Amino acid sequence: MAIMRTILLKGAENQWLHQRASHYRFVRRAVRRFMPGERLEDAIEAAQLLRDRGLNTIFTRLGENLTERSQATAVVEHYVEVLQRITALSLPTVISIKLTQLGLDLDREFCFQNLCRLVEAAPQGDIVWIDMESSPYVDVTLELYRRARAKYENVGVCLQAYLYRTAKDLESLLPLGPGIRLVKGAYKEPPEIAFPQKSDVDENYFKLASTMLSESAQKQGMRAVIGTHDPKLIHRLQAVATQNGVRKDSFEFHMLYGIQRALQLRLAADGWRAGVLISYGKDWFPWYMRRLAERPANLFFVLRNIIG
Ligand SMILES: Cc1cc2nc3c(=O)[nH]c(=O)nc-3n(C[C@H](O)[C@H](O)[C@H](O)COP(=O)(O)OP(=O)(O)OC[C@H]3O[C@@H](n4cnc5c(N)ncnc54)[C@H](O)[C@@H]3O)c2cc1C
């Protein structure tokens, strides 16, 4: 299983595979399980259906590590339009962006200004989420997050439970009253910096999320998002929240489109706040490979689409 994960995550970075796989119809069909379509309109339609079932949504346009300033500017303009569409349609939707989509690899200051533009364009109070990318980006992502949080309330960042450093990062962010979306982590990281065993990642996730749901973190203004599809963890964390007197509507569960759909609906039906992250866009290859790596059994769906 670990070998398969490594192969798939290596594949995610392979340009040759990227260019070829994206053209095959059977791959495109398999991808549909995790994204309603490539167009913004597809994401909007899906968000309307989910809203009718009590679920919030988070939009993210796929694409990362852009190499031209003009590409990053186009991404910002796209998201500004998305925020206007969301407002016009009164959708319970926010956005989640990657800093490398906003030009982080080109110019840190340019990237920060792009981030500020999006946070300012968000309807009042609506949070803009910053994804966490692979480990070389963690320091700079947290640095830009701190700067943004000093200016705005409505900005949040993702932290990854597989990194040893995350406990310290979380502790140092608490006084800011941060928005934090905790996930397990989706990249290939060496054992020197990340727990190699899944059971250790799960336990670290529980510890970190329990801190986010503690009375003191809540008092400091923490906006907690539990970003996982793991039913056992969700169950344990619901118990922690109840025990700490954290109200059901003061934190959220987020999952990815197409994964654990029944659980998403059950959470909403039981009165918990739940959101579904919807990805769209043409540049889905590395993102899709990470979804396969999370659960190599997903390769079965690709094979089924080859057969027809
Ligand atoms: C809202 C959200 C935002 C995210 N943002 C980031 C980010 O910014 N940076 C980052 O590194 N990672 C991000 N991730 C991905 C995350 O790091 C994990 O890789 C992913 O969520 C799988 O871990 P899990 O917590 O669901 O637990 P797991 O233990 O991997 O899965 C628990 C159960 O969920 C189901 N499941 C999980 N993944 C899949 C899948 N791909 N296909 C089918 N079933 C599946 C299975 O039933 C599995 O048993 C995000 C995840 C979510 C939900």
Would you say residue 11 lies in a domain?
Answer: no
Residue nearest to atom 32 of ligand 1 (CA): 230
Q: What is the pLDDT of residues 262-298, one digit of tens each?
A: 999 999 999 999 999 999 998 888 888 888 887 777 7
Residue ranges for the chain with pLDDT beneath 50: none
Would you say residue 278 lies in a domain?
Answer: yes
Would you say residue 241 lies in a domain?
Answer: yes
Residue 53 gets which letter from DSSP? T
> Tell me, what CATH number does 80's domain have?
3.20.20.220
Would you say residue 16 lies in a domain?
Answer: no
pLDDT reported for residue 110: 97
Catalytic residues, by residue number, are 131, 181
Would you say residue 48 lies in a domain?
Answer: yes
Contact 134 CB / ligand 1 (< 6 Å): no
Would you say residue 301 lies in a domain?
Answer: no
The pTM score is: 0.94
223: left (phi over 0), alpha (psi -120 to 50) or beta: beta
Burial 133-165 (b: 16+ CB within 10 A, else e): bbbebbebbbebbeebbeeeebbbbbbbbbbee
pLDDT reported for residue 290: 85
Would you say residue 12 lies in a domain?
Answer: no
Contact 184 CB / ligand 1 (< 6 Å): yes
Would you say residue 18 lies in a domain?
Answer: no
Domain hosting residue 85, numbered range:
36-283
Total domains, the chain = 1
CA of 109 to the centre of ligand 1 (A): 31
pLDDT reported for residue 304: 67
